[in-house]
Amino acid sequence: EDQVTQSPEALRLQEGESSSLNCSYTVSGLRGLFWYRQDPGKGPEFLFTLYSAGEEKEKERLKATLTKKESFLHITAPKPEDSATYLCAVLVAGNNRKLIWGLGTSLAVNP
């Protein structure tokens, strides 16, 4: 069964303390892996799409990487405004283009 697992479930950092969030997946055929940010009471905001192992993408303090079994979202020198839930989702071949979602990592950055 296709599955996406995110860890840790929650993470608390001090401002400036870099860390990484993990998204591991077991799927039959990966068509793409997506990272979203979700603030409380709002819809998810698209961050990155990764398609193949070895691919990396960056945006401000965020960097996403992909291997054949997992993806990392690296947060460098985070700020309090980076506090949010980060969601990972995968698009699987032949799955009617539905996304399989992880449960998310709730990140809190203290000033």
Partner 1 sequence: GAVVSQHPSWVICKSGTSVKIECRSLDFQATTMFWYRQFPKQSLMLMATSNEGSKATYEQGVEKDKFLINHASLTLSTLTVTSAHPEDSSFYICSARAGGGTIYNEQFFGPGTRLTVL
Give the DSSP per-residue string, 1-56.
--EEEEE-SEEEEETT--EEEEEEEE-SSEEEEEEEEE-TTS--EEEEEE-STT-E
User: Does 72 participate in binding partner 1 (rule CB under 8 A)?
Assistant: no
Distance CA 111, CA 99 (A): 34
Confirm if 31 and 89 have CB atoms less than 8 A apart.
Answer: no
Among 91, 92, 107, 109, binds partner 1 (CB under 8 A): 91
Shortest Å, Cβ 94 to partner 1? 14
Question: 6-65: which residues touch partner 1 (CB under 8 A)?
Answer: 31-32, 34, 36, 41-46, 49
**In the complex with partner 1, which residue's Cβ is closer, 76 or 95?**
95
**Smallest gap from residue 31 Cβ to partner 1 (A):** 7
- The footprint of partner 1 (CB under 8 A) covers 31-32, 34, 36, 41-46, 49, 87, 91, 96-99, 101-104
